[in-house]
């Protein structure tokens, strides 16, 4: 099983035609880093640059020290889970997970065993033959996580994967991610709007503002009240202050 690897954006510049983004940041190997920032600050763009869905205008994306600039998304050592639309509607749960092993679904016995194990790990044993529409929103995200497990890449990109789920289900899913992370030690980049989610599983924090990295540090530092001023202002504005966040968890 592969261990996590550091992810570095080395002076990566990018633009959709308007205000430019400039990312110069390293995500530590085998850690869960929560990425926060106001809407439009560039969180999804940063993940898309790592995944290879967008191409830097200059600078380099390094994964485990290797420049992945020339690699297509499928060749990069990453898997990604989005807020929704992770699954193919016409394929069963089992096949959606199988795509993590083989894009053509040419599955070996060993692949099938890995798929069954992954589905069991995320609590979906017995639902292999269902179609995505026959699942709840939370179950669909479990299928996406099972696919991450069989894909077994050292970097996991999560783009608000549980944002549409209710709070208690969200906590269950976060605990599942934390459990999988404890087993696999992948490097996780976790985009979230929810300070309590970042606090629950985040070890490190990256705070974006206006297309740039405005602050980095440990989650403990960010949330104990001494974190960066810009971050305190952000969570103060979005959720009524950091002390409320501490309380919400208890
Ligand atoms: N495909 C695109 N074409 C043009 N502009 C885009 C595109 N995708 C994003 N943008 C713009 O780039 C900026 C950053 O978008 P991005 O999705 O990275 O922000 P975000 O921090 O993830 O926001 P949110 O929290 O709302 O998801 C926004 O101003 C957005 O409008």
**CATH code at position 69:** 3.40.50.300
- The answer, yes or no, to whether residue 249 has pLDDT greater than 80, is no
Percent of the chain clearing pLDDT 70 (strictly above): 93
- Structure confidence by residue, pLDDT tens digits, 19-55: 899 999 999 999 999 999 999 999 999 999 999 999 9
Q: What is the pLDDT of residue 108?
A: 94
Helix (H) or strand (E) holding 243: helix 242-248
pLDDT surpasses 50 at 134? yes
Domain match, 139 and 228 both? no
**pLDDT tier at 241 (50, 70, 90 boundaries)?**
very low
Question: Is residue 48 lining ligand 1, measured as CB closer than 6 Å?
Answer: no
With a 6 Å cutoff on the Cβ, whether 42 touches ligand 1 is: yes
Q: Are residues 192 and 219 in the same domain?
A: yes
Mean pLDDT within 165-172: 90
**165 lies in the same domain as 57:** yes
Across the range 68-75, mean pLDDT stands at: 94
Whether 200 maps to a domain, the answer reads: yes
Say what the pLDDT of residue 84 is: 85
Q: For residue 163, give its domain range.
A: 1-77+153-238
Flag whether 243 is in a domain: no
Tell me how crowded residue 127 is: count the other CB atoms within 10 A of its CB: 16
Dist. CA 10 → ligand 1 center (Å)? 20
E strand or H helix at 159, and its extent? strand 155-159
Q: Is residue 116 domain-shared with residue 164, that is, in the same domain?
A: no
What is the predicted pLDDT for the residue at 18? 82
CA distance 232 to 235: 5
Domain contains 15? yes
Q: What percent of the chain has pLDDT over 90?
A: 81
Number of domains the chain contains:
2
- 73 and 157 assigned to the same domain: yes
| Residue 207 and residue 167 share a domain | yes
Identify whether 245 is part of a domain. no
Indicate whether 47 belongs to any domain.
yes
Verify whether ligand 1 is closer than 6 Å to residue 37 (CB atom): yes
Average pLDDT over residues 157-165: 93
Q: Give the per-residue pLDDT at 44.
A: 96
pLDDT of residue 236: 84
Task: Give yes or no: residues 136 and 230 share one domain.
Answer: no
Rounded to two decimals, what is the model's pTM? 0.91
Mean of pLDDT values over 76-89: 92
157 lies in the same domain as 68: yes
* End residue of a domain, out of 117, 152, 187: 152
Q: How confident is the model at residue 238 (pLDDT cuts 50, 70, 90)?
A: low
Beta-strand relationship, 58-63 and 78-81: unpaired
> Does the C-beta of 20 come closer than 6 Å to ligand 1?
no
Return the closest-CA partner of residue 49 out of 215, 211, 185, 205: 211
One domain, residues 102 and 197: no
Q: How many angstroms is it from 51 CA to the middle of ligand 1? A: 15
Query: Cβ distance 76 to 62 under 8 Å?
Result: no
Whether 67 and 164 share a structural domain? yes
pLDDT of residue 28: 97
């Amino acid at each position: 099983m592969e261990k996590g690897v550091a992810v570095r954006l080395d002076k990566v510049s990018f633009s959709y035609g308007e205000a430019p983004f400039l990312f110069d940041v390293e995500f530590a190997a085998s850690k869960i880093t929560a990425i926060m920032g106001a809407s439009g600050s560039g969180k999804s763009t940063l993940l898309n640059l790592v995944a290879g869905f967008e191409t830097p205008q200059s600078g380099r994306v390094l994964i485990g020290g290797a420049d992945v600039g020339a690699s297509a998304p499928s060749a990069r050592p990453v898997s990604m889970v989005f807020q929704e639309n992770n699954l193919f509607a016409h394929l069963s749960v089992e096949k959606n997970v199988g795509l993590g092993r083989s894009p053509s679904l040419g599955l070996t016995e060993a692949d099938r065993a890995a798929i069954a194990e992954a589905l069991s790990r995320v609590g979906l044993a017995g639902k292999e033959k269902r179609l995505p529409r026959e699942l709840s929103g939370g179950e669909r995200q479990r299928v996406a996580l099972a696919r991450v497990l069989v894909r077994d890449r050292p970097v996991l990109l999560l783009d608000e994967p549980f944002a549409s789920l209710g709070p208690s289900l969200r906590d269950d899913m976060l605990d599942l991610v934390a459990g999988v992370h404890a087993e696999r030690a992948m490097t996780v980049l976790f985009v979230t709007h929810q300070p309590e989610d970042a606090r629950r599983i985040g070890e490190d924090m990256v705070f974006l503002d206006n297309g740039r990295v405005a602050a980095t540090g440990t989650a403990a530092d960010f949330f104990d009240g001494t974190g960066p001023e810009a971050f305190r202002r952000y969570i103060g504005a979005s959720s009524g202050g950091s002390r409320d966040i501490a309380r919400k968890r208890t």
